Amino acid sequence: MLVDFFDHEALAAQVVDVLARPDDFARLGSAARAHAVEHYDFLRTCLPEHIAQINALVPKDKQIVI
């Protein structure tokens, strides 16, 4: 389900298509959720990456340790 970010008509058409055929898109939704949970988990992925970025900018004695 990819559309041009600035093409509101294409986005609306895609949403209508998804709503008209929910069974066809159910697997896609499940896969998307699994991907998001795996790659964007806050505590396991996002927070450690943000802390690493912050630590790269500050002196060793001021770094955040978790």
Q: What is the pLDDT of residue 56?
A: 98
Does this model's pTM top 0.85?
Answer: no
Inter-axis angle of helices 8-20 and 22-39, nearest 10: 110
Per-residue HEC secondary structure of 19-65 comes to HHCHHHHHHHHHHHHHHHHHHCCHHHHHHHHHHHHHHCCCCHHHCCC
Q: What is the pLDDT of residue 66?
A: 84
Helix (H) or strand (E) run with residue 18 in it: helix 8-20
Q: What is the pLDDT of residue 63?
A: 96
Q: What is the pLDDT of residues 5-48, one digit of tens each?
A: 999 999 999 999 999 999 999 999 899 999 999 999 999 999 99
